[in-house]
Structure 1
Amino acid sequence: MCSRDIDLTEKLDYSSAVALLGYSLILSLLRSFNVKDEATRVMFAAPVLAFVTTHILYLNFYELDYGWNMKVCVVMAVVQLLTWAIWAGVTQHPI
């Protein structure tokens, strides 16, 4: 039996990857900067949510570009990893 991506599953795959990375990035920023105030949380999350939403809409309704999606995902992952690494170094948190 052979499994293949169809248009819908490919869009869901790309969209879910970006959504997961965006959510993880928001959490890493909130935790690293120790944001407790609700208004400040929204200020941190809003630009990331706007970018992720715009990117998903671009992929689903304009051009489903694998290369572009990979670049976006890698940049988001690297920013998240750097955020966690800097947080661990500054707080002397044991990894």
Structure 2
Amino acid sequence: FIGYAPALWALVQRWHFRDDDDDQLFYTQLYLDPELRSDLSLALDHHSRIFQNLNGALDEVTIRFEPDGNRVRNEISGAWPVVIHGNGPTK
């Protein structure tokens, strides 16, 4: 999550489940509710401008080797994400 503390606090205060319940499903359901999404100012990084998950997306990214440093580029969106997450089998 990225956001201001009051907004994040309002978001996590909606959790009324056990610690071993599915938190990803919970946040997905919040996001899919248009009214809640608007009230809580929720947004997804659809174009990987900040975050790039690699699982299922290896064909979408290239590593650019440049003199000032190596970077990952999302070739679909043209974005240069700053956080790369090697999740799932891509670890």
TM-score scaled by structure 1? 0.23
More strand by share: 2
More helix by share: 1
TM-score scaled by structure 2? 0.24
Q: Which has the higher contact order (CA 8 A, sep 6+)?
A: 1
